[in-house]
């Protein structure tokens, strides 16, 4: 029998990969998209199906995690077997700028969904996945971080997600709902939002190499993260809802790298080696050597990265490293793509776009301008 899934955040990085994955498994996939003044479905346009065609298996509904009646109506119409709550104001730095909105969407939004499932009597039918995060560990209390490591959130985003984590546990314990938290460490891809650090680097360096931008401005480049590929991580989101009993899992690679490493890898993909000089806010990265033809706009000695304290956070999460052994033992899950392979894929995609833009610019045509990141 065809299963039905409802995905909040379907227009985001994970939502788009998860929708592809579930369609391949034969699911009917419903997603919630926000009303915006311009198109915001680029990541799922390739799987869009004309709703006028019989047996379309992909359907989008207008909605918002801040709107209880909207969520309740959609759940009532869709009657999903599985709900994946991926929707969120997901940018940690932005959560310091908009803490109340972040709490409403990332915290109370989860409660609205859980309560609607209960209110509609779907609690025996519907399984619920909550997009929890390694940001819950914040000021880390134990390394590596596992399911039992105490939480210490360090941002309005993480505090809102902590509320959702416990609400998910509470609905499982109080009402017997099949509800799970995936505590996911950072995961990236060519579809990663342009203002998260990995994509900012791959896109920025590809632009600089093609002469479209002068320099990358970064925050704390000594920050350490456990980076995986979003494709590997959405597979695990689905696996968590296929077990006999609902449980929470850490999803990570178990390997840690610095933001600086990611800059060095990305530069290497473009044929560049870098020299880092100076310290603190005065640190810069200079081109030390160039091979190949991927960076025609650069010469040895060019400064391609500077520090801008604007990108420092009021409270930083300095280091995260996950222990995915529970996921491996109980579900047989292991990441297939390494952080360096992922970096190469991201640079290759961003270079393609940058080359296209450089060609347009060279021929007197408009190209999208670089924007705030
Ligand atoms: P994205 O930022 O790429 O996607 C977020 C999605 O949420 C988008 O579809 C966005 O819509 C939607 N959204 C934002 N606000 C609302 C709202 N008020 N109502 C309904 N939908 C909304 O995030 P990712 O795909 O990277 O992450 C998915 C989830 O996993 C998020 O909850 C994130 O916090 C969490 N997470 C992510 C990790 C990562 O490393 N990627 C790690 C751990 C957890 P729109 O496209 O219109 O902006
Ligand atoms: P994070 O991801 O905060 O871990 O949250 P992000 O890529 O934004 O930052 C990672 C680290 O890089 C440092 N950094 C910078 N970050 C950004 N965005 N821009 C910069 O210029 C910059 N310079 C240095 C940051 O300070 C940080 O230490 C992501 C999101 O996807 C969350 O939704 C998710 O829950 C967590 O990952 C796990």
- This complex has an ipTM of 0.99
Query: Does the C-beta of 92 come closer than 6 Å to ligand 2?
Result: yes
State pLDDT tens for residues 75-99.
999 999 999 999 999 999 999 999 9
Which CATH number is associated with domain 4-184?
Answer: 3.40.50.720
Active site residues: 133, 135, 157
Q: Looking at the CA of 322, name the nearest ligand.
A: 2
Portions of the chain given CATH number 3.90.25.10 = 197-224+258-314+338-363
**What pLDDT is attached to residue 53?**
83
**What pLDDT is attached to residue 372?**
61
Query: Does the C-beta of 193 come closer than 6 Å to ligand 2?
Result: no
Ligand 1 center–CA 15 separation, angstroms:
8
**Which residue, by CA, sits nearest to atom 40 of ligand 1?**
186
Portions of the chain given CATH number 3.40.50.720 = 4-184
Ligand 1 center–CA 136 separation, angstroms:
16
Query: Does the C-beta of 90 come closer than 6 Å to ligand 1?
Result: yes
**What pLDDT is attached to residue 373?**
61
Ligand 2 center–CA 92 separation, angstroms:
7
Ligand 2 center–CA 195 separation, angstroms:
9
For 197-224+258-314+338-363, the fitting CATH number among 3.90.25.10, 2.60.120.380, 3.40.1260.10, 3.40.50.300 is 3.90.25.10
Residues of the chain with pLDDT under 50: none
Q: Looking at the CA of 154, name the nearest ligand.
A: 2
3-class DSSP string for the chain: CCCEEEEECCCCHHHHHHHHHHHHCCCEEEEEECCCCCCCCCCCHHHCCCCCCCCCCEEEEECCCCCHHHHHHHHHHHCCCEEEECCCCCCHHHHHHCHHHHHHHHHHHHHHHHHHHHHCCCCCCCEEEEEEEHHHCCCCCCCCECCCCCCCCCCHHHHHHHHHHHHHHHHHHHHCCEEEEEEECCEECCCCCCCCHHHHHHHHHHHHHCCCCCCEEECCCCCEECCEEHHHHHHHHHHHCCCCCCCCEEECCCCCEEHHHHHHHHHHHCCEEEEEECCHHHCEEEEEEECCCCCCCCCCCCEEEEECHHHCCCCCCCECCECCHHHHHHHCCCCCCCHHHHHHHHHHHHHHHHHHHHHHHHCCCCCCCCCCC
Q: Is the pTM of this model over 0.95?
A: yes
């Amino acid at each position: 029998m065809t299963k039905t899934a409802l995905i909040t955040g379907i227009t985001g990085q994970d939502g788009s990969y998860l929708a592809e994955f579930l369609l391949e498994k034969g699911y009917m996939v419903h997603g919630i998209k926000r009303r915006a003044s311009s198109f915001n479905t680029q990541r799922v346009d390739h799987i869009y199906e004309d709703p006028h065609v019989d047996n379309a298996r992909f359907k989008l509904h207008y909605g918002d995690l801040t709107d209880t009646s909207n969520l309740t109506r959609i759940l009532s119409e869709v009657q999903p077997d599985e709900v994946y709550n991926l929707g969120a104001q997901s940018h940690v730095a932005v959560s310091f700028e908009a803490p109340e909105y972040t709490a409403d969407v990332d915290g109370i939004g989860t409660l609205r969904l859980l309560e609607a499932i209960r209110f509609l009597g779907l609690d025996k039918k519907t399984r619920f996945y909550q997009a929890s995060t390694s940001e819950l560990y914040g000021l880390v209390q134990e390394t590596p971080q596992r399911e039992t490591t105490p939480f210490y959130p360090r941002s309005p985003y993480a505090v809102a997600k902590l509320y959702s984590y416990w609400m998910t546990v509470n609905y499982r314990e109080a009402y017997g709902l099949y509800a799970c938290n995936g505590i996911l460490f950072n995961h990236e891809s060519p579809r990663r939002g342009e203002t998260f650090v990995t994509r900012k680097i791959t896109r920025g360096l590809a632009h600089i190499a093609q002469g479209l931008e002068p320099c990358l401005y970064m925050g704390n480049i000594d920050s350490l993260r456990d980076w995986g590929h979003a494709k590997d991580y959405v597979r695990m989101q689905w696996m968590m809802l296929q077990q006999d009993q609902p449980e929470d899992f850490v999803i990570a690679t178990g390997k840690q790298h610095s933001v600086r490493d990611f800059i060095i890898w990305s530069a290497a993909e473009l044929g560049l080696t870098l020299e880092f000089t100076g310290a603190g806010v005065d640190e810069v990265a200079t081109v030390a050597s160039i091979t190949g033809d991927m960076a025609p706009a650069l010469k040895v000695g060019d400064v391609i990265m500077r520090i801008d304290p604007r990108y420092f956070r009021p409270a930083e999460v300095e280091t995260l490293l996950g222990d995915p052994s529970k996921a491996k033992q109980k579900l047989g899950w292991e990441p297939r793509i390494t952080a360096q392979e992922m970096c190469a894929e991201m640079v290759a995609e961003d270079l393609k776009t940058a080359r296209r833009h450089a060609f347009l610019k060279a021929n007197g045509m408009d190209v999208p301008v670089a924007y705030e990141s």
